[in-house]
Amino acid sequence: MTIIDFNNLRTDWYSGGDFMARKLQRCLRAKDRDTVFVHFPRQWIPLFEWAGAAWRLSTPPADYLPFFSAMSERDVVQETQRAKGVGQLRSLVELTASCDIVLCETLQRIDALPGILTAVDGIHIDGCPIVLSNWLSYTRPEFRDYEEALKQFRKRARSAIFLSCGRTRPYQVSRTHFRLRRILEAEGVDINSHDVIVMTSIGPVPEPLWQHPVVMHYDTGIRDIYRVLTLLRRLLHDSQYEVGWDCLSFRPYRDVLNIVTREGGIRKLQRPCKLRSRNIPVYRVHAARSP
């Protein structure tokens, strides 16, 4: 058995996050069941549990940490088990990491390491919502999986329609999308001759990916606009749409479309009449409704 004692760790090994990330990655891959982490501050407990790592004898945080400074080890364990029971342990890990710099660095490094996608409570095909509550949410392994699927998309039409994200998924039964389609049809747009791409906080979602498990179950209150721009640039890297129909309501997403148009990804951007813009869209996971 290998003991990693927090009290004996070199400060530079610990503070950068790389040492802990490599050790916990081995736990995630189920290659290391003989290492025990001892005397770590108890805010590490959710991450240890998420990684399947053995631990014991936690200590209180050295400096004030929201919630954890007032919680006993038993309290943290109980809360961790509750989160695990409802499929939201990763959300608890992200909440904790947002309060602790070393945890934040460690979690990002773990997510960036290859080979852990299927080892964690990653792709929630069981219907649990994928809650995106802070920037750390976007480094999750399941989003790497979605990005890999997005790389496989190839345009089939010369023009594209960009739609806002509807609350109901799959998008083909969204009332918002039915309304937008009627507006386009009234302007003489043949929807079937266009690629249809939904602009969301997880990036562009072409029609072939509308039922990807991440698309079906994500629920967010925070948006990484630069990430959306990067993924759209990647989508348009090897192709150019002659016309892009801007049916978006969220102004930052409209700005993203304008940027890729200036860069040559879209030759001409058009917008249907009578569409308004707004600043903050709301996404929630709802059951599909009949049209």
Q: What pLDDT is attached to residue 204?
A: 94
- Domain locations along the chain: 2-121, 149-270
Q: What pLDDT is attached to residue 100?
A: 87
* Residue 220 predicted with pLDDT over 70: yes
Mean pLDDT over all residues of the chain? 82
Pairwise CA distance, residues 185 & 211, whole Å: 24
* Residue 197 predicted with pLDDT over 60: yes
Decide which of 221 and 179 is more confident: 179
Q: What pLDDT is attached to residue 274?
A: 67
* Residue 72 predicted with pLDDT over 80: yes
pTM of the prediction? Answer: 0.75
Q: What pLDDT is attached to residue 121?
A: 45
Pairwise CA distance, residues 92 & 98, whole Å: 10
Write out pLDDT tens, residues 116-175. 544 344 444 445 677 777 777 787 877 888 888 899 899 899 999 999 887 777 887 777
CATH class of 149-270: alpha beta
Q: Which residues pair with 4 in a beta bridge?
A: 37
